[in-house]
Amino acid sequence: MTLFQVLLGLLAGSTVGFTLGLVGGGGSILAVPLMVYLVGVHDPHVAIGTSALAVAANALIGLANHARKHNVKWRCAVTFATAGVTGALAGAMFGKTVDGQKLLALFALLMLVVAALMFRTRGREGDPTVVLNRGNAPKLLGSGAATGLLSGFFGIGGGFLVVPGLVASTGMPILFAVGSSLVAVSAFGLTTALTYASSGLIDWPLAAVFIGGGAIGSLFGTRLATRLAGRKGMLNMVLAGLIVIVAIYMLYRTAAALSLI
């Protein structure tokens, strides 16, 4: 990498880390297009594999920050993540067989669907006393497996899918879902990264730069998330708005690459 690319990588990594700390998701939503369109990674599969590793590491840093603030429902999070790892393995194997540009386009369309769902649920406050029980365990296992499959297929940490999945399965407040989601984001990202690494599809120096920048961004993102949690629906709106903006941009760029515009 050139010095300019290193600086761009640090900036992009800080942005990814900040987003993970703030909303528990959006890390890979940003990491993949930032690697492709900003840093200049030409192979989308390398961008996906590298982002999966970087996001997993940054998610672990964010998880530590949220855990210190008691924002993690550990049993719910571990149940969700465990079910998702199997799905992530299957999804990653299939994702590598799909054309890179088409994969990015499908990724963007999925983002728009999730954003619409988050806008619809922005006013729900949730139950902060929720715990793992017989009633929500099947929902956590089912949504975890489905989220893991999509996470592996698109090479994403999956946080923007995990947060709505945790809220829908348990009814927990979004701040707790943000903190708890980082358990699954870490697990899914590492699973996907290992699969891509086995095929030589990770840029290790770039991943290191992203992780370094993300460590700084994650600290500030976590602090802001705690402040915004008191404003009804604000975290949902922030994540949904971010998803829509990036999805539209990705659809435009992939359409241009496929000579559709």
Tens of pLDDT, residues 126-164: 778 899 998 899 999 999 988 888 777 776 656 677 887
For residue 80, the model assigns a pLDDT of 94
Nearest alpha carbon to residue 19 among 57, 48, 69, 58 = 58
Cβ(172)–Cβ(76) under 8 Å?
A: yes
Average pLDDT, the chain: 82
pLDDT tens digit sequence for 88-136: 788 878 777 777 677 777 777 877 887 787 777 666 667 788 999 988 9
Question: What's the mean pLDDT in 46-70?
Answer: 88
Burial per residue of 132-150, b for 16 or more beta-carbon CB atoms within 10 angstroms, e otherwise: beeebbebbbebbbbbbbb
pLDDT tens digits for range 155-185: 665 667 788 789 889 989 888 988 898 898 8
Whole-number Å distance between alpha carbons of 227 and 222:
9
Tokens 């296992």 -> residue: 141
Q: What is the pLDDT of residue 56?
A: 87
Cα gap 62→224, rounded to integer Å: 12
What pLDDT score was predicted for residue 24?
73
| Whole-number pLDDT of residue 123 | 60
* CB-neighbour burial class of residue 113 (10 A; exposed 0-12, middle 13-18, buried 19+): exposed
Asked whether the predicted pLDDT for residue 199 surpasses 80, the reply is yes
pLDDT, greater one: 189 or 60: 60
CA distances from 64 to 58, 109, 112, 194, 230 (A): 10, 32, 30, 22, 21
- Cα(36)–Cα(235) distance, integer angstroms: 27
209-239 pLDDT per residue, tens: 999 998 888 888 888 887 876 665 676 777 7
Residue with the bigger pLDDT between 74 and 236: it is 74
Q: Cα–Cα distance between 218 and 203 in angstroms, integer?
A: 22
Q: Rounded to whole angstroms, how far apart are CA atoms 242 and 6?
A: 24
Query: pLDDT value at position 124?
Result: 62
Question: Mean of the pLDDT values across residues 197-211?
Answer: 92
What average pLDDT does range 184-208 have in this prediction?
88
Q: What is the pLDDT of residues 237-250, one digit of tens each?
A: 777 787 788 778 77
Q: How far apart are CA 214 and CA 122, in angstroms?
A: 27
C-alpha R_g of the chain: 17
pLDDT at 222: 84
Q: Residues 56, 60, 63, CA angle at the centre, nearest 5°? A: 130
The confidence band for 74, taking pLDDT boundaries of 50, 70 and 90, is very high
Using CA atoms, how far residue 22 sits from 54, 160, 174, 188, 223, in Å, is 17, 11, 11, 19, 8
pTM comes to 0.74
**Domain definitions of the chain by residue range:** 3-257
HSE of 238, CA atoms in CB hemisphere, 13 A? 23
Task: Provide the pLDDT for residue 30.
Answer: 76
Helix axes 3-23, 44-68, angle to 10 degrees: 50
pLDDT at 125: 65
- How far apart (Å, rounded) are the C-alpha atoms in residues 113 and 117? 7
